[in-house]
Structure formats: C-alpha cells, structure tokens
Structure 1
Amino acid sequence: MENISQPPVQPADAAAVHPGIEPISYLLGTWKGQGEGGFPTINSFSYGEELRFTHHSSRPVIAYTQKTWKLNSGEPMHAESGFWRPKPDGSIEVVIAQSTGLAEVLKGTYNTEEKVIKLQSELVGNASKVKEITRVFRLIGGDLSYEVEMATNSTSLQPHLRASLKKL
C-alpha cells in the first residue's frame, strides 16, 4: 500500500519571510497588552490581550490568533482566528472567525511607510445584530495599537475596542 501521508512540516526559518508578506512582516510574532471596550448598548470594560501572527515562508499569508481575558480574574473573554493576505498593490484581504460564531471578511489597505493597516468589512456573517466592522492597526514606536469600530441594526459605526500591545 502506498504511503499517502503528508511530509512532516518543517519549521520556517525565522529569517525567511515570503516576499508577499514582507510589507507587513513587522506584525510577525506575539504581542501582548491591554485594551478597553465599550459601545452605546454595553458597559465599558478593560481586558488583557494576546495577538499572534505567524507564517510559513512558502506561503504569502499570515495566520492570526487573538485571545482576551478579564484583567482581575484571568477568565477568558473572547477569541478569534483567521488569515491575512497582503497583495502587491497595497491592498489586503483578511478573514476572521470569532468564538461568538461571527465571521468577518475584510478588505483594506496597508501603508508600508506609516505602518498602518486599515480594514473594512465586506461581509459580517452569522451575526443577528452586527452589520459593519472596521479595524485600524498602527505600529507606533514599536507598539502595535488598534481600534475597532462597529455598527449594528440600531447604531451607526461607533468606537468599540482599542488596545496597545508590546511585542514579546
């Protein structure tokens, strides 16, 4: 019988970065910090967070995972994962699946000089109330910050989340 198992996955050389992700390769690694959230229909809150961006040098895609927890207890709050695909023309496509069941397809742009990534939802799936999401990521003085805005059936686009993270 022929062996049809996959060859073992070789770890990517830390120095090897696929040319397709080079413009946003500063994201690669693990980031940790704190954030704040709120919305007109909920109470404000603070949270701890970890983002992880990884890739294999043979693919022009970055894998993304995120998790948050309550600062006082460490209890998990939210998690999401997905894939980021930068394009040579400065555009980017991102897909994210959230632990709540919500799925996002986002498109946007990246600016290599300013190290800013702006994303706008093209589709928010499996959401009864959420209609639109924007995400803006910035590298400022070595820290990764982001802002998320959200619109629902009853509210226009409003600030929802913001955080500042340090690379581990």
Structure 2
Amino acid sequence: METTAAEAGQPGPAVHPALAPVSYLLGTWRGQGQGCYPTISSFSYTEELNFSHSNPRKPVIAYTQRTWRSPGGPAAEPMHAESGFWRLKPDGSVEVVIAQSTGVVEVLKGTHDAEGKVINLHSELVGNASKVKEISIEFRLVDGELSYELQMATTSTNLQPHLKAVLERV
C-alpha cells in the first residue's frame, strides 16, 4: 500500500513506497544543539533540517541543513550549511550523499529501524577534508522529537562525540 505525503504528516505528492519506513523524517525540524571536540572550545547552535520528497517514482529524499550561533535562528550569525540526498535501497540500507558549504563531501551508508525510528549512518567517504577522516551519526525519533548524535575522527583523534541536537517539527 502506498503512503501519501499527507499520511506522513506533509502535504504534497505520494511518498515512494520504499521511503515509508523513514517518512517520519519529512518536513522541517528546528532546535538546539551542542558541539564539542578535544581540539576546539565547546559551543551551542540553533539548527534547521529539511527533508523533502517531490517525486513519488524515486526513493529519494532531498536534505538541507543550516546552523546559526545560539541563541537565534535565521536572523543570527550563520555557522554551517549542507545539502544532499538520502536514498533507501531495496536491501533496506540507507545511502546519504552530502555536500557542505566548506567544500567537504560525505558519502554515508547505514541502516534504519522502522519500528524503533532509528537511523545509523557511517562514512564511506569524507572527501576534500584536510583533517576529518570518519563520521558516524545516529538519528532517533522519540516522542515527536528528532535527535541525533554525531561522532567524528580526524587525523589526530579517534572517533568521538562532536555534535548532538534535539529538534522539533515546525
């Protein structure tokens, strides 16, 4: 049975059946995040994620992300931006391709748990990055809030926590 965008909580065309397990992502999410790493000072940020799906014939979600210094939002000082595509494969895996405003590109692959509403991704490639070598991220939807925790490894550090945020649908 085909899930419509309206059933996923969004207006628009029908959602490709392969995307049904992650259709809860569709829409715009905004909230607060925290960043830390051994080589930098800790920081806070406001973040907005947008997941959209406009072609019911293709199992692809378009993705954009923007952050601003906290407190704030679009009126505050911009920090970071990236965009890309999420795709669910017939074997149940997830592939994500991201281009950052800094010129860094990422290819991540992973799994999703439709019942638990958890997505785990791990970098296959981090390109055009002088220091970042590996990224791992877990998204989780609990009680209507989308949260994530991102870990990162660089040329001088092992994989460890870097970013985490809790977002609400807007």
Output the TM-score relative to the length of structure 2.
0.89
Rounded to whole Å, the distance in 2 between the matches of 1:62 and 1:15 is 13
Q: Which residue of structure 2 aligns with residue 65 of structure 1?
A: 64
Q: Does 2:53 match 1:55?
A: yes
Identity within the alignment, %: 68
SS at match of 1:21: helix
Q: Deviations over 1:15-43 (max 9, x none)?
A: 61111211100000000000000100000
**How do residues 1-168 of structure 1 correspond to structure 2 at under 5 angstroms?**
14=12, 16-56=14-54, 57-72=56-71, 74-168=76-170
Q: Which has the larger radius of gyration?
A: 1
- Which stretch of the first structure deviates more once superposed, 116-125 or 84-93? 84-93
Q: Return the alpha-carbon distance in structure 1 between the equivalents of residues 90 and 167 of structure 2.
A: 27
Q: Distance in 2 between matches of 1:113 and 1:63?
A: 22
Give the counterpart letter for 2:63 in structure 1: Y
8 Å CA contact 1:90–1:111 kept in 2: the answer is: no
Structure 2 gaps of 5+ residues are 1-9
Deviation at 1:142, TM superposition (A): 0.7
**Residue in structure 2 matched with residue 6 of structure 1 by the alignment:** none
Report how many residues are paired.
157
2:129 is paired with a residue whose SS is coil
Contact 2:66 2:81 (8 Å CA) reproduced: yes
Q: 3-state SS of the aligned residue for 2:17?
A: coil
Amino acid at match of 1:58: R
